[in-house]
């Protein structure tokens, strides 16, 4: 009996957007077309060679109730926060920040020319973890394990692939892979049943199947949403590089207001009130 395969349920185009102090980016998840895909709230690509499009960066801003994952492919990004943490993201490195009960931080390009290219993913937290202690994981490029086999090279940022554990410690069941396929190669991955999964293509194109077995292409700067059951199998006829992201759905109400993501409107109002009063990220909870 043939193994059940996850199908490409939907293909979504990213939308140009601006965030921070005017950084131009492509918003892939968190748009009118696709507000969120539980447990993922937002996915942005910042990929600019013109310093005018990125140099103003993301000045100090608050977060509460979720995690941000920043993955750099090219360029330098300095992060600092309200309690004295700081670090420098370099090509191939990752910052996994658990905002939890609250943190105020900035993310500023530490360069004035050249290509700045990276991704930021927002991962929701369940109600039981939304007010967890904030923490950072700064993961250098050389600490991210890779596997290589049958025309595919996979960087394992989080989760597991081919029996190899990723670099990040996660509070929830999240998989985050950077996959490079040679022409004609197929990405195969065993994923827990019921986990939601996404494939964002940033070079080349991928091919999967739809619900009736027809071929479906996920092109460059497109997001493929896979069905939640079965094995993952995606082929790159002419080669591809893509982010594969998956996680267990939380199945709780999502209320969001800018940098705050909670379960109720009352919790959002509380976060905003604390921020205005200057007690945000300093008040014990």
pLDDT, tens only, 232-263: 999 999 999 999 999 999 999 999 998 999 99
pLDDT of residue 1: 36
Q: Is 284 exposed, middle or buried (0-12, 13-18, 19+ CB in 10 A)?
A: exposed
Closest CA to 255 of 273, 240, 243, 267: 267
The answer to whether 168 touches 158, Cβ cutoff 8 Å, is yes
How high does pLDDT run on average in the chain?
93
* 82 pLDDT above the threshold of 90: no
* 204 pLDDT above the threshold of 70: yes
pLDDT of residue 72: 97
* 49 pLDDT above the threshold of 60: yes
Fold observed for domain 8-247: Jelly Rolls (2.60.120)
pLDDT of residue 282: 58
Closest CA to 209 of 1, 49, 9: 9
Q: Where are the domains of the chain?
A: 8-247
* 2 pLDDT above the threshold of 90: no
Tokens matching residue 122:
């927002």
Per-residue confidence band for 100, with pLDDT thresholds at 50, 70 and 90: very high
Report the percentage of the chain scoring pLDDT > 90: 83
pLDDT of residue 111: 84
Residue bearing the bigger pLDDT, 257 or 2: 257
Question: pTM for the full model?
Answer: 0.95
CA 183/CA 151 separation, integer angstroms: 8
- In a 13 Å sphere around the CA of 234, the CA atoms on its Cβ side amount to 33
Q: Count CB neighbours of 234 within 10 A.
A: 27
CA 48/CA 109 separation, integer angstroms: 11
Tokens matching residue 224:
């493929």
Mean pLDDT for the stretch of residues 116-121: 96
Q: How far is CA 176 from CA 38, 87, 147, 225, in A?
A: 15, 21, 14, 15
Per-residue confidence band for 165, with pLDDT thresholds at 50, 70 and 90: very high
pLDDT of residue 144: 98
The answer to whether 210 touches 176, Cβ cutoff 8 Å, is no
């Amino acid at each position: 009996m043939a193994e059940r395969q996850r199908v490409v349920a939907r293909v979504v185009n990213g939308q140009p957007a601006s965030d921070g102090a005017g950084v131009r980016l492509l918003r892939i998840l968190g748009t009118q077309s696709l507000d969120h895909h539980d447990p993922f709230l937002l996915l942005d690509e910042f990929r600019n060679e013109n310093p005018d499009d990125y140099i103003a960066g993301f000045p100090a801003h608050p977060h509460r109730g979720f995690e941000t994952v920043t993955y750099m492919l090219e360029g330098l990004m300095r992060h600092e926060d309200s309690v004295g943490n700081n670090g420098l993201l370099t090509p191939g490195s990752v910052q996994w920040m658990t905002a939890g009960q609250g943190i105020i931080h900035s993310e500023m390009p530490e360069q004035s020319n050249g290509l700045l290219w990276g991704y930021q993913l927002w991962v929701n937290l369940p109600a039981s973890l939304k007010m967890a202690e904030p923490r950072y994981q700064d993961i250098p490029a050389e600490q991210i394990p890779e596997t290589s086999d049958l025309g595919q090279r996979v960087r394992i940022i989080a989760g597991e692939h081919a029996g190899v554990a990723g670099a990040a410690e996660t509070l929830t069941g999240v998989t985050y892979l950077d996959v490079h396929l040679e022409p004609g190669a197929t990405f195969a991955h065993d994923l827990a049943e019921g986990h939601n999964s996404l494939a964002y293509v940033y070079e080349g194109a991928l091919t999967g199947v739809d619900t009736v077995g027809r071929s479906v292409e996920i092109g460059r700067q497109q997001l493929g949403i896979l069905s939640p059951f079965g094995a993952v199998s995606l082929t790159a006829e002419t080669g591809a590089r893509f982010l594969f992201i998956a996680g267990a759905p939380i199945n709780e109400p999502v209320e969001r207001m800018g940098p705050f993501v909670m379960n109720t409107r009352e919790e959002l109002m509380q976060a905003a009130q604390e921020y205005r009063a200057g007690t945000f990220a300093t008040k014990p909870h």
